[in-house]
Amino acid sequence: MTLTTAPLRKTNHRSSNLGMLLALSKTEIIKLFRNPAFIIATLALPIMFFAIFGIPNSKQSIGGVNAGAYMLISYCAYGLMTVCITSFGNSIANERGMGWNRILKVAPMPPILYFVAKTVAALAVGLLSMLSLTLFGSVVGGVSLEPILAITVFSKFLLAMITFIALGLAIGYNLSSTAAPAISNLVFLMMSFTSGLFVPLEVAPQFIRDIAPYMPAYHFAELGWMTLGSKPLADQMVHWLWLGGYLVLFLALAYRGYRRDEGKKS
């Protein structure tokens, strides 16, 4: 440190909530992309699953729609859920343990921006995950979605994803950094299986078909499948309501953990 009575040079920017949000979002996106496990889980695995299970069935049909397109949508849903659980659940549990949150807490930054930035990052990466899978599907797998249809499905998914962001928050604020990855993987895999994301419900064992209507992931994926034409769209309100109910439940759990966490430190 060879300083320095030299005057310190200041920037002339003013801080603004938007500026902070952009900087925080950028940070969150960089963090996600430098985590190889995350890239594999959100970009590589959905493509791999689609290549193994989707492409060979691309000439079949499920519930009156093309099986390839149906499974493409399943794996889009799978990818989005991974984004939420990894970028919220595991990373919050981890940062909570590190005291990084305390550093952010004493900074003059409204705490809500931290969550908004994580959401922005999750939406951006989620969109990328869906786009890359769709691109792979059409270029390699010969399964393409109508552009309007794809946009509709993506929009619904990005909105409905909030429920899984809340699930991530609930995991992140209630579990330790060592427990979070294990538990979230378990919850997430069980939920994917029992919701028909890996094996379409049409061909799944009866007990899975019995469980599915209670799973948030089922209602999530159904929003996509029915947009494809598997069911009348008029029924979609039921799925939104289920997701809304789970959203409230997960937020309540997250809030409980958050309060307990705050209480420990003040």
Partner 1 sequence: MNIIELERVSKQYGSLKAVDNLSLSVQQGEVVSFLGPNGAGKTTTLSMMMGLASPTSGTVRVFGEDPRKTAVRSRMGVMLQESDLPGMLTVGELLDLFSSFYPHALEKKSALELADLSDQVNKKANTLSGGQKRRLIFALSIVGDPELIFLDEPTVAMDVQSRSSFWETIKNFRKQGKTIILTTHHLEEADALSDRIIVIDKGQIIAQGDKNQIKAKAGGSKVSFKTQGITLATLQALPGVSRASYSEGYAELISNTPEKLLQELFGYHVPVADLEVTRASLEEAFLSLTAKTPARQPVKN
User: Given candidates 59, 105, 259, 260, which one binds partner 1 under the rule CB under 8 A?
Assistant: 105
Sign, Cα dihedral of 122, 220, 79, 175: positive
Degrees (nearest 5) of the Cα angle 165, 166, 171?
95
Give dist(CA 72, CA 143) in Å, integer. Answer: 8
Positions 29 through 88 that interact with partner 1 (CB under 8 A) = 30-31, 34-35
Residue from 110, 151, 155, 189 binding partner 1 (CB under 8 A): 110
Q: Terminus-to-terminus CA distance in the chain, angstroms?
A: 36
Q: Pick from 207, 47, 218, 77: which is nearest to 143 by CA?
A: 47
Distances from the Cα of 219 to the Cαs of 10, 121, 186, 202, in angstroms?
A: 52, 23, 19, 15
- Which CB, 100 or 214, lies closer to partner 1? 100
Query: Is residue 148 within the footprint of partner 1 (CB under 8 A)?
Result: no
Which is nearer to partner 1, 48 or 103 (by Cβ)?
Answer: 103
User: Is 103 among the residues that bind partner 1 (CB under 8 A)?
Assistant: yes
The token pair that represents 231 in the structure block: 């069911």
Q: Is 3 in the site for partner 1 (CB under 8 A)?
A: yes
Q: Is the peptide bond before 4 cis (omega within 30 degrees of 0)?
A: yes
User: Is 266 among the residues that bind partner 1 (CB under 8 A)?
Assistant: yes
Cα separation, 246 vs 102, whole angstroms: 29
* Longest CA span, the chain: 77
By CB under 8 A, name the one of 37, 40, 48, 107 that touches partner 1: 107
Binding test (CB under 8 A) with partner 1, winner from 56, 64, 99, 245: 99
- When asked if residue 100 is in the footprint of partner 1 (CB under 8 A), the reply is yes
Instruction: Give me 118's structure tokens.
Output: 């994580």
Q: Convert residues 7-26 into a mask of x (bound to partner 1 by CB under 8 A) and - (unbound).
A: -xxxx-xxx---xx-xxx-x
27 is a contact residue toward partner 1 (CB under 8 A): yes
Q: What residues make contact with partner 1 under the rule CB under 8 A?
A: 1-5, 8-11, 13-15, 19-20, 22-24, 26-27, 30-31, 34-35, 95, 98-100, 102-103, 105-110, 265-266
